[in-house]
Amino acid sequence: MCVFSASSRYFSDPAVMKADSIRLPFQTPMAARVRGFASAAKWLAVRALPSQCALCGNLSQSLLCNGCDAHYWNEPRLRCATCALPLSASTLRRERDDVRAHCAACLDTPPAFNDTFALADYRAPLDTLAVELKFRARLAAGGTFARHLHAVFEDSDLPVPDLLVPVPLSHARLVARGYNQAWAIARPLARMMNVPGDASIVTRLRHTSAQSRLDQETRRRNVANAFGVSGDVRGKHVGVVDDVMTSGATLDALARTLKLAGARRVTNFVALRTPKD
Ligand SMILES: [Zn+2]
Ligand SMILES: [Zn+2]
């Protein structure tokens, strides 16, 4: 701890950074030995010591114990193929020549995206994983979401996207949080799908206020023109990855921006879906 804070002070002083002759504290042989020992201890701890399942608290080597992993992801839920909203017999709609089910809203006013995959509803206990990923930097949850999204996608007959992008954070929010939770899902998912993942092709131009307390129309206005595309997506099928889909306004705005930039198709991959506004 002392070594770290001392080195931070050295780096913040440009005069010190230029002085090559000065040996910084973390470069001494003793510091290197301490660092080596610490990383070896961490390696051993991860492999030898069991940790707790994020959902039930039982001992588990991975994020979820086998019981939770098998139990919570197999929710049989019919969802709208476009927006992943849960459907019942009374809310289900089918267009002629389309075998996929849709909600009435997507048929009446189709959003800019074409399809959405969601693993489960945003509710207990799986919402814990999204909270752990977003606010407690438990990045392993991103890998778990990716593994299950990949399995759901493999069961479908949808074409593989040309690339995956995470819903971007604004620069200010990225700096404050230190990571983008959507990228923690998109990166392993892209690897599993064997497609490129790109965290810089779509940017968030402005910071939008928290969406959860706003009504649908205000949400739409809030995120309009929030995104920019800095790469070539012309003719491409873009997969957009996010942790939680609430109203769909953010994903709609992002898909609209991608389509305006020439994207051919946009498919959303979201871990959890809020059932209703
Ligand atoms: Zn468990
Ligand atoms: Zn829908």
What's the pLDDT tens digit per position in 205-245? 877 665 556 666 676 667 777 899 999 999 999 999 999 99
How many of the other CB atoms lie within 10 Å of CB of 62? 14
Report CA(66)–ligand 1 centroid distance (Å): 7
Report CA(200)–ligand 2 centroid distance (Å): 28
- Domains identified in the chain and CATH numbers: 2-48 (no CATH), 76-273 (3.40.50.2020)
Closest ligand, as measured to the CA of 101: 2
- What's the confidence (pLDDT) of residue 22? 37
Rounded to the nearest 5 degrees, what angle is found at the Cα of 74, between the Cα atoms of 50 and 97?
Answer: 150
Report CA(172)–ligand 1 centroid distance (Å): 35
Report CA(116)–ligand 2 centroid distance (Å): 9
Rounded Cα distance between 90 and 157, Å, is 26
Give ion ligand 1 contacts, CB < 5 A: 53, 55-56, 58, 65, 68
Report CA(131)–ligand 1 centroid distance (Å): 16
Closest ligand, as measured to the CA of 63: 1
What are 114's two structure tokens?
């074409």
Report CA(67)–ligand 1 centroid distance (Å): 6
> 249-260 vs 216-223: helix axis angle to the nearest 10?
40
- Cα–Cα distances in angstroms (integers) from residue 107 to residues 13, 100, 220, in the given order: 60, 12, 18
Rounded Cα distance between 65 and 44, Å, is 20
Average pLDDT of span 74-80: 80
Rounded Cα distance between 126 and 77, Å, is 15
What are 79's two structure tokens?
């969802």
For 165-215, write each residue's pLDDT tens digit: 999 999 889 999 999 999 999 999 999 999 999 999 999 987 766 555 666
6-20, 132-146, 208-222: the lowest-pLDDT one:
6-20
Closest ligand, as measured to the CA of 104: 2
Report CA(86)–ligand 1 centroid distance (Å): 25
Report CA(170)–ligand 2 centroid distance (Å): 27
For 93-120, write each residue's pLDDT tens digit: 776 667 788 999 999 999 999 999 999 9
Report CA(108)–ligand 2 centroid distance (Å): 10
Rounded to the nearest 5 degrees, what angle is found at the Cα of 226, between the Cα atoms of 221 and 231?
Answer: 145
Report CA(88)–ligand 2 centroid distance (Å): 12
Closest ligand, as measured to the CA of 91: 2
Rounded Cα distance between 58 and 54, Å, is 8
**Tally: H helices and E strands in the chain:** 11, 8
pTM above 0.85, yes or no: no
Report CA(142)–ligand 1 centroid distance (Å): 17
Closest ligand, as measured to the CA of 85: 2
- What's the confidence (pLDDT) of residue 100? 84
Report CA(69)–ligand 1 centroid distance (Å): 7
